[in-house]
Amino acid sequence: MRYGAKIVVYADDFVICCRDHAEQAMGEMRRLITQLKLTINEGKTHIRELPRERFDFLGYMFGRYYSAKSGRVYLCPQPSKRSVQRMIGKIREATERNVLWLSAEELIKQVNSMLIGWANYYSLGPVHKAYRTIDHYTAPRLRRWLCNKHKVRNTGARRFSYEYLYDTLGLVQLQPRTHSLPSAKV
Could you read off the pLDDT of 16-34 as tens digits, one per residue?
888 888 888 888 888 888 8
Q: Which residues fall within 8 angstroms of residue 100, CB to CB, at 6 or more apart?
A: 145, 148, 149
Question: Rounded CA gap, 104 and 156, in Å?
Answer: 15
Question: Rounded CA gap, 35 and 38, in Å?
Answer: 8
The answer to whether 95 touches 84, Cβ cutoff 8 Å, is no
| The one-letter amino acid at 85 | Q
pTM over 0.95: no
| The one-letter amino acid at 152 | V
pLDDT at 2: 46
Positions in the chain whose pLDDT score sits under 70: 1-12, 180-186
Could you read off the pLDDT of 43-58 as tens digits, one per residue?
878 888 888 888 888 8
| Strand, helix or coil for residue 38 | coil
Question: Rounded CA gap, 115 and 131, in Å?
Answer: 9
The answer to whether 81 touches 133, Cβ cutoff 8 Å, is no
